Chains A and B, each alone.
Chain A
Amino acid sequence: EAGVAQSPRYKIIEKRQSVAFWCNPISGHATLYWYQQILGQGPKLLIQFQNNGVVDDSQLPKDRFSAERLKGVDSTLKIQPAKLEDSAVYLCASSSRVNTEAFFGQGTRLTVV
């Protein structure tokens, strides 16, 4: 069974530029999560989808971050414009049901300079 796929693995951009990350969850997993992991910290949930609907985006900085999950499968997370403090690893995860363990991708390491 293929795991959660994310791309790109690494991205370097200048502040005020925009960037997008892509995630393909495990086939059949209805729940998809985006987490932000700043260096030296644990991951923090940004947004959670159940199929293509948003369940929890309470910690998403909506003035600059947006995410979508079209057709309830792949998802993209966008930052526009980026700030220096957005430098982090962005992890995508999926689970088959709301209350089961989440499986994570390898993440996208973003550096904003």
Chain B
Amino acid sequence: AQKITQTQPGMFVQEKEAVTLDCTYDTSDPSYGLFWYKQPSSGEMIFLIYQGSYDQQNATEGRYSLNFQKARKSANLVISASQLGDSAMYFCAMREETSGSRLTFGEGTQLTVNP
């Protein structure tokens, strides 16, 4: 079974609007962390935001927020006020306590911001 599922291969959004990128995960480990990374065409993976399984509040970092719904096992990324520079691949990833610090990635979502 896939541990991380990103069901949106591609998403489009107008500049200055908000967009939600979906991520669902599968784990039986009570302790885990969820990450979002951005990969522009240059290839580098850029860390955006982190949510721990025991965190009571949703994580926020500037224009990025993570909509964490533990019972549904979802960790959607919300980008507010989209900018042209947000166009990139976005990967959701999970780290389970039982697997040490290995990050398991989803297949990614290609976001395109239109002017």
Which B residues are CB-close (under 8 A) to A3? 44
A93 to B108, CA, bound (A): 18
Contact B45 A93 (CB under 8 A): yes
Which B residues are CB-close (under 8 A) to A110? none
Sorting the interface of chain B by its residue count into under 10, 10 to 19, 20 to 34 or 35 or more gives 20 to 34
Contact of A101 among B43, B44, B47, B107 (CB under 8 A): B47
Segment with Cβ contacts to B, from A17-25, A42-50, A78-86: A42-50
Q: B residues within 8 Å of A by Cβ? A: 4, 33, 35, 37, 42-47, 50, 91, 93, 95, 99-108
Known: A42-B4, A99-B101, A102-B47. 15 other contacts (CB 8 A): A40-B107, A42-B91, A42-B107, A45-B104, A48-B101, A89-B43, A95-B101, A98-B100, A101-B50, A102-B101, A102-B103, A103-B47, A104-B37, A104-B45, A105-B44
Q: 6 closest Cβ contacts across the A-B interface?
A: A42-B105, A104-B45, A98-B101, A101-B47, A107-B43, A106-B44
